[in-house]
Amino acid sequence: MSDQYSLLILPGDGIGPEVMAEVVKVIGWFETHRGMKFDVSHDLVGGAAYDAHGAPLSDATMARAQSVDAVMLGAVGGPKYDVLDFSVKPERGLLRLRKEMDLFANLRPAQCFDALADFSSLKREVVAGLDILIVRELTSGVYFGEPRGIHSDDNNPENEGGRVGINTQRYTSGEIRRVARSAFELARRRTNKVCSMEKANVMESGILWREEVQWVHDNEYPDVELTHMYADNGAMQLVRRPQQFDVIVTDNLFGDILSDAAAMLTGSLGMLPSASLGAKMANGRPKAMYEPVHGSAPDIAGQGKANPIACILSFAMALRYSFDEGDAAAELERAVEHVLADGIRTADLMGPEGGTPVTTAQMGDYIIKALSQES
């Protein structure tokens, strides 16, 4: 393929730069051995951008993100930035990217690698072979709804403290329908099952969610099996019998929470990739950003302890969803599986049965070695 793939790398804060360095190595391998051409540029996001520009994402970086085929993001945040005003906190940089690129469908696959089944907090038989996909709505809901803010409540003498905090859960039917379509499309390529989660028992936005997902199903995807579940029951079912699910589609806030729970089922948060996709661009590729589900882990940053696999698997998702290089994505995923089966372990994956302890960089090297051996 003679296509050139443009990629903007935003390593961010904490362990972000360390895990992203391993992705850069993997990109180099695919350029050398698979003839792919990447036009890679680097920029700042989160606390790193705040330190440089006084904002967690500069307008120039935002413009660059809009112009590339895909963005790779490491992680944002750290205790140093906790004192900052809400409007310039590192997380705002990430949320701005999601919102302005209109990345409405966030794909968070939770797959349990056989070699790690004993790491899960659940029993091996409950999680072995687990392969579910959470599709989280990413550009609306309570994360962005207006009105929002902290106001004084002076006229209410019964309110001790005199303040009120407000956020708004707001969804339009169009926002629900487009993410539902993404979920149904993805389900057709898997085992054709979607479970939609909301709180229709207490929230009007939940009733609308349920009705609109059902509408898309009945009118456009009647071949896909659709069930609905209250999100609290969904959380319970995820830890009780996760294998009952294939694709879960849910709103921004429930998706944030449920995906952390699903991640832990697989043994380590250090393993989970994600893709955030928007509408198709002129070149036919979707607007896209790829990032590990884990955070910036400031407690272990800079020590070579971080697990780069979630970030490397996020690049595999970029190969699949942005560049249509599904074979290369599968090749990279197999290399990761191979290394795990060989007992290569960063600290988060080190269990009672031992293994070969490795640093972040060594894990990257082992994965590249496995890629080279397979080919």
Residue 220 contact, options ligand IPM, Mg ion, none, Cβ 5-8 Å cut-off depending on partner type: none
Among residues 264, 333, 317, the alpha carbon closest in space to that of 294 is found at 264
Residues lying near ligand IPM in the complex (CB under 6 A) are found at: 91, 94, 256
DSSP 88-113: GSHHHHHHHHHHHTT--EEEEEEE--
Tell me the residue type at 21.
A
Q: Which of 22, 198, 212, 256 binds Mg ion (CB under 5 A)?
A: 256
Residue 149 CB partners (closer than 8 Å, separation 6+):
165, 166
Of 258 and 329, CB closest to ligand IPM: 258
DSSP label at 36?
Answer: -
Among this protein's residues, is 59 annotated catalytic? no
256 as an active site residue: the answer is: yes
Q: Which is nearer to Mg ion, 256 or 291 (CB)?
A: 256
**Per the residue annotation, which of 13, 43, 89, 199 is the catalytic one?**
199
Residues 6 or more apart in contact with residue 305 via CB below 8 angstroms? 346, 347, 348, 359, 360
Q: Is 224 or 262 the residue whose CB approaches ligand IPM more closely?
A: 262
From the CB of 373, what's the least distance to ligand IPM, in Å?
34
Is 154 part of the annotated catalytic residue set? no
**Beta-strand relationship, 163-166 and 149-152:** antiparallel
Query: Can residue 137 be called a binding residue for Mg ion (CB under 5 A)?
Result: no
Q: How far is the CB of 229 from ligand IPM (least distance, A)?
A: 20
Q: Rg of the Cα trace of the chain? A: 21
Query: DSSP code of 57?
Result: S
Between residues 77 and 364, which has the closer beta carbon with respect to ligand IPM? 77
Phi (first) and psi of residue 300, to 5 degrees: -115, 5
Closest distance between ligand IPM and the C-beta of residue 93, in Å?
A: 10
Nearer to Mg ion, 260 or 365 (CB): 260
Choose, from 118, 131, 153, 260, the residue flagged as catalytic.
260
Q: Report the partner that residue 91 touches, choosing among Mg ion, ligand IPM, none (CB closer than 5 to 8 A by kind).
A: ligand IPM
- Picked from ligand IPM, Mg ion, none, the partner binding residue 115 (CB below 5 to 8 A depending on kind) is none
Judged by beta carbon distances under 5 to 8 A according to partner kind, the member of ligand IPM, Mg ion, none in contact with residue 94 is: ligand IPM
327 is catalytic: no
Shortest Cβ distance from residue 298 to ligand IPM (Å)?
13
Give the total residue count for the chain: 375
Q: What is the DSSP string of 304-363?
A: T----HHHHHHHHHHHHHTS--HHHHHHHHHHHHHHHHTTEE-GGG--TT--EE--HHHH
Q: Which of 259, 292, 279 is nearest to 22 (CA)?
A: 292
Angle of helix 309-321 relative to helix 16-34, nearest 10 degrees, comes to: 50
Could you tell me which of 140, 43, 101, 96 has the C-alpha nearest to residue 281?
A: 101
Quote the least distance from Cβ 76 to ligand IPM, whole Å: 6
**Cβ-based nearer residue to Mg ion, 136 or 178:** 136
Q: Which stretch binds Mg ion (CB under 5 A): 85-93, 151-159, 251-259, 272-280?
A: 251-259
Q: How far is the CB of 188 from Mg ion (least distance, A)?
A: 27
Active-site residue identified among 171, 256, 305, 321: 256
Answer whether 250's CB lies under 8 Å from 134's CB: yes
Task: State which residue has the least CB distance to Mg ion.
Answer: 256
- Verify whether residue 143 is a known catalytic residue: yes
Kindly list the residues in this chain that would bind Mg ion in the complex (CB under 5 A): 256
Which residues are known catalytic residues? 143, 199, 232, 256, 260
